[in-house]
Amino acid sequence: MEDAVRAVDLSKTYGTGAAAVKALDHVSLTIARGTVAALLGPSGSGKSTLIKALGFVSPADTGEVFFEGKLVVKDGRPLADLASLRRRHLGFVFQKANLTSFLTARENVEIACEFGEKRDGKRRARDLLGYLDVAAREDSYPETLSGGEQQRVAIARALANEPSLILADEPTAALDSVRSRVVMELFRKVAHDRGAAVLVVTHDHRALDIFDVLYAMEDGSIRPYAPGAVTSAVRPDAHALEGASPRVGPQ
């Protein structure tokens, strides 16, 4: 499978001098389409910084990011219209659903279709809500939806532009274990059905079996993660996925 995103030697430092904190330390990572990858690590390990760099929100100081094979960020300088890239090819899911409060569930998905320049947004939004089993709540405002429903709508919104890459930052933090697993399985379904690459930042170790690839971050460095092992590499079944093998470390 083709690569959705490839990061090469990303480094980022917050602050200067003695107060300097290295958030990313020569991080290299490739996520292929159709892969569900998990990113684990303690708070302050650099997960969010990596998500921001891969999501073209806040670039790293040095290093390169390729999107679908094309170099789009080099040493902090954008080489393409990043906002356009986000609205056409990326989907985001957050810890809280972060739905737009003044739009209904359907409109939240529909607006993402518009941004992604997808035709027939209303029908598409309904289809996606149906796919995620929340069609019955399409006219409800976010505040009237349960946490699980909100997160389903958020996933539908992330899928609205048929993204190549979905970045999810602790999407199940506000959910109970049952709903967490349902959401994680949805990501797997989306990746496998629609060929999207999904990177999920999570602390929830109960659902790690769902992921194709596991990464761990610590002090700005990334490495393959295996439950119970400090430095073990990638799960065997992840390697078995043709074209989705994680390539960790400098390329």
Partner 1 sequence: MNLALRDVRRHLARFVGTAGGLGLLLSVVIAMQGIYAGMVDDATILTRAMQADLWIVARDTRGPFAESSRLDPSVEARAASVPGVLRARPYTYQLIQREHRGAVMRIALVGLGWPDDPGRSVPLVRGRWLQQPHGEMIVDASLGLGIGESLVLAGEPYRVVGLTKNALTSGGDSVAFMSVADAQLVALDQPSEATVLERQRVVGRLSRTDLGRGQPGLEDLVMDPRWRSPALASPPVAAVLVEVAPPRLAAVQEIMRSWGDVSVYTQGEEESLLLGGVVARARMQIGLFTVILTVTAAVIVMMVIYNLTLEKTHDLAVLKLMGAPRSRLLGLVLQQSWLLGALGYAVAFGLGALVFPHFPRRVLITESISLVAPLATLAIVTMASVLGLSHVMRIDPSRALEG
The contact set with partner 1 (CB under 8 A) reads 48, 51-52, 55, 57-58, 83-88, 90, 92, 94-96, 98, 100-103, 107, 110-112, 114-115, 121, 141, 157, 169
Nearer to partner 1, 66 or 94 (CB): 94
What are the distances in angstroms from CA 17 to CA 22, 24, 60, 118, 121? 11, 16, 18, 47, 50
User: Minimum Å distance from CB 143 to partner 1?
Assistant: 10
Closest distance to partner 1 from the beta carbon of 121 (Å) = 8
For residue 204, give every residue at least 6 positions away whose Cβ sits within 8 Å of its Cβ, in sequence order, or none: 172, 173, 177, 180, 184
Identify which of residues 139 and 237 has a Cβ nearer to partner 1 in the complex: 139
Reference 217, options 29, 62, 59; nearest CA is 29
Please tell me what DSSP assigns to residue 229. B
Contact 151, 97 (CB under 8 A): yes
Q: In the complex, what is the shortest distance from the CB of residue 140 to partner 1, in angstroms, rounded to a whole number?
A: 12
Smallest distance from partner 1 to CB 104, Å: 9
CB nearer to partner 1: pick between 87 and 188: 87
Nearer to partner 1, 32 or 97 (CB): 97
The distance of closest approach from Cβ of residue 63 to partner 1 in the complex, given in angstroms and rounded to an integer, is 18
**Where does residue 111 rank: exposed (0-12), middle (13-18), buried (19+ CB within 10 A)?**
middle
Of residues 99 and 222, the one with the C-beta less far from partner 1: 99
**Phi, psi of 103, deg, nearest 5:** -115, 150
Is 32 or 51 the residue whose CB approaches partner 1 more closely? Answer: 51
As a whole number of angstroms, the distance between CA 142 and CA 139 comes to: 10
Q: How far is CA 35 from CA 55, 137, 142, in A?
A: 17, 29, 29
Smallest distance, partner 1 to C-beta of residue 112, A? 6
